[in-house]
Every structure is written in C-alpha cells, then in structure tokens.
Amino acid sequence: MAADEPQPAKKLKLEAKPLRQNILFGMGNPLLDICAIVDKDFLCKYGLKTNDQILADEKHKGLFDELVSKFKVEYRAGGSTQNSVKVAQVSLFQWMIQQPHKVATFFGCIGRDKFGDILKEKAEEAHVDAHYYEQSEQPTGTCAACITGDNRSLVANLAAANCYRREKHLDLKENWQLVEKARVYYIAEAATFAREQGFETEDIKEIAKKAQRLPKVNKKRQRIIVFTQGKDDTIVATADNVTAYPVLDIKQDDIVDTNGAGDAFVGGFLSQLLYDQPLEECIRGGHYAANVIIRHSGCTFPETPDFH
C-alpha cells in the first residue's frame, strides 16, 4: 500500500449483504460542536490561542452563549466516539451503497436544554440512532471551534457528558436490547493506556504488540490492535505480526483541518468491518475516510466521495 501511489482495488460487492439497523454500537461523550469565524478580540477576551485545544474553565463560562449571539455559527454533532459512528453511518449510507438509516446506535449523556435539542437534530440528520440519557444537573456538552483565517482554537466543555448513569439508562430493558442487537462495538480508549498498563515503552509497535497479548476472556476471535499516528503509518498488531500501513498521500495545500481525522479513520474502518472485509480493506477504508475529512472543515464530508 504505497503512500504516493495507492493501488487500485476492485469495487466492493456490498450489495450481496445488506446491513440491518443498529448493527454498530458506540458509547462516549456527546458534544455539540459550535463553529464560527471569530475576530482576534474574541480570542483575547477568553485567553485563547490559535491552533490550540483546551478544556473550558471558569473564565470561559460565557464563551459559548457569546459565540452564538455575536457570530454566525454552524452546529454539528460531535465528540470523538459520536464522530466515529457518524462517519461509519455516512460511509455506509452515502459513500458505499444506500443502506438503511440508523445502522449505527449511539449512547451518551446530554442536558435538557436548547443545545441538547440541537444535538438531537444533528444526530438525526446524520442518520445515527442516538439514544441520549437526558438530565438537568449539567448542560449539554459543547465544543467551540473559533476560526481565524486558517487557524482554529477549540474549547471543549464536557459538562453533561460526564453525567452518564448506567443504572438510569444503559440498564433499561429497551436500551440494553439495542446493545444486544449490535454486532460491532466501539468505545474510545484513553491516550495513557500504555502507561497505565505498565508497558514501560514508548515504541508504538512494541505497545501494539503488548496490548495484543493482554489476557482475553473471549478466545474465539483473536484481538487486533490498531494505532493511528496522524500523518505517520498506521500500526496494526495481530497474533502473528505487527504491520505498518502508510497513510494516503496528500498535498499540504489540500489539508483544511486535521481535527477529526482519527475519528474518521475509526468510522471508515468500522464501515468495512461490518461487511466482514479483510483487515487490509478495513485499514484502507479508514485511511480513505480520514483523507476525505481533512480536506474539509470540522468532521464533515462531501455528499458523493468515490471509495471503490
């Protein structure tokens, strides 16, 4: 799989196996992305830096409402895991073949407020079957994308995303039935995984190898570890070997926004995994989705990409 000369592949025969609804399940922190072109005075007022991403604190309390009232904003369903299932759904419905809506299910926590209502609308527009746990203790999580020229400053306020209650949502019979209905599950892991496991190495291939060999309850299927590294090779560890897959080549001038590239890779990967495609095809689908996403602002995509 050459980075500068992608090898042509035969068009996938997806028509032979139509997918059912709710076959993919994702669970994570849902955020409403609020994107707007702002001025430098707005950045200075809230102490924001260009090309930076931070968690909101007390001084950012009024940022989100002011962003909405002062600038022209665009809303998008966001959050890492929700982005991934959204890309998987779009990959299946728009990019590959007209599959049913709501192939992907998503669980997370939001507030009972206007931003929560908008987030539900945006998830519906993406054809994701989102079942949110709604509560009134914290507002809906938001991520402000403050754009100045080619730069953006991201400010995330997790808020309600941290308030999920398993006993009040996941354990409900009608919700657990959706979990049992799925065949593929995705939940994002923390970046500190290797350190917490005591691997005592920073070599990405060695980390992948150690993670693949961790004890496993279900021994019917082998564990596969996939690590993305931005513009560097994607590392895949199986029981037999560790392989590096070069990402697709792209000109620097064609890159609009790298935020969401990793989420898009997961979505593209999962879209092929659902069709029981070989591992190499799952990787190729992931690389393709990421390559498309970084050509657009935010985790957004064109109507008719040409994945074959």
Return the closest-CA partner of residue 257 out of 128, 154, 122, 142: 154
Q: How confident is the model at residue 200 (pLDDT cuts 50, 70, 90)?
A: confident
Q: Is residue 5 part of a domain?
A: no
pLDDT at 151: 83
Of 6-15, 123-132, 169-178, where does mean pLDDT reach its minimum? 6-15
Domain count for the chain: 1
Q: Is residue 164 part of a domain?
A: yes
Q: Is residue 114 part of a domain?
A: yes
Residue 251 clears pLDDT 50, i.e. is over it: yes
Q: What order of strands is seen across the sheet that includes strand 242-245?
A: 225-229, 232-237, 242-245
pLDDT at 31: 96
Give the helix/strand (H/E) hosting 280: helix 279-293
**How does DSSP classify residue 95?**
I
Catalytic residue among 65, 263, 276, 306: 263
Q: Is residue 158 part of a domain?
A: yes
Distance CA 159, CA 157 (A): 6
Return the closest-CA partner of residue 142 out of 163, 162, 115: 115
Which structural domain, as residue segments, surrounds residue 93? 19-188+247-293
pLDDT at 107: 96
Return the closest-CA partner of residue 209 out of 221, 197, 191: 197
Contact 269, 285 (CB under 8 A): yes
3-state secondary structure of 79: coil
Q: Cα torsion at 190, 192, 195, 197 (round to 10°)?
A: -10
Of 26-30, 215-219, 282-286, where does mean pLDDT reach its minimum? 215-219
Residue 201 clears pLDDT 90, i.e. is over it: no
Task: Give 196 or 248, the one with higher predicted confidence.
Answer: 248
Q: Is residue 2 part of a domain?
A: no
* Average pLDDT taken over every residue of the chain: 84
pLDDT at 93: 61
**Contacts by 36-40 with C-beta closer than 8 Å and gap 24+?**
36/67, 36/71, 36/72, 36/73, 36/74, 36/144, 36/145, 36/146, 36/147, 37/71, 37/72, 37/147, 37/148, 38/67, 38/71, 38/146, 38/147, 38/148, 39/148, 40/148
Task: Quote the tokens at residue 65.
Answer: 């409402």
What does the DSSP assignment read for 169-236? TTTSHHHHHHHHH-SEEE-PPPTTHHHHTT-----HHHHHHHHHTS--S--SS---EEEEETTEEEEE
Q: Is residue 86 part of a domain?
A: yes
Provide mean pLDDT across the span 263-279.
Answer: 87
Task: Quote the tokens at residue 113.
Answer: 């407020």
pLDDT at 17: 61
pLDDT at 10: 40
3-state secondary structure of 157: strand
Contact 263, 289 (CB under 8 A): no
pLDDT digits (tens, 9 = 90+) for 217-240: 777 778 888 888 888 898 999 989
pLDDT at 4: 38
Task: Give 9 or 140, the one with higher predicted confidence.
Answer: 140
Provide mean pLDDT across the span 34-59.
Answer: 94
Distance CA 253, CA 255 (A): 6
Return the closest-CA partner of residue 33 out of 193, 136, 144: 144
Q: Is residue 125 part of a domain?
A: yes
Amino acid found at 121: E
Active site residue 263: yes
**How does DSSP classify residue 248?**
P
Q: Is residue 163 part of a domain?
A: yes
CATH number at residue 108: 3.40.1190.20
Q: How confident is the model at residue 65 (pLDDT cuts 50, 70, 90)?
A: very high
Distance CA 11, CA 303 (A): 19
Contact 63, 159 (CB under 8 A): no
Task: Quote the tokens at residue 10.
Answer: 């035969």
Q: How confident is the model at residue 13 (pLDDT cuts 50, 70, 90)?
A: very low
Task: Give 196 or 71, the one with higher predicted confidence.
Answer: 71
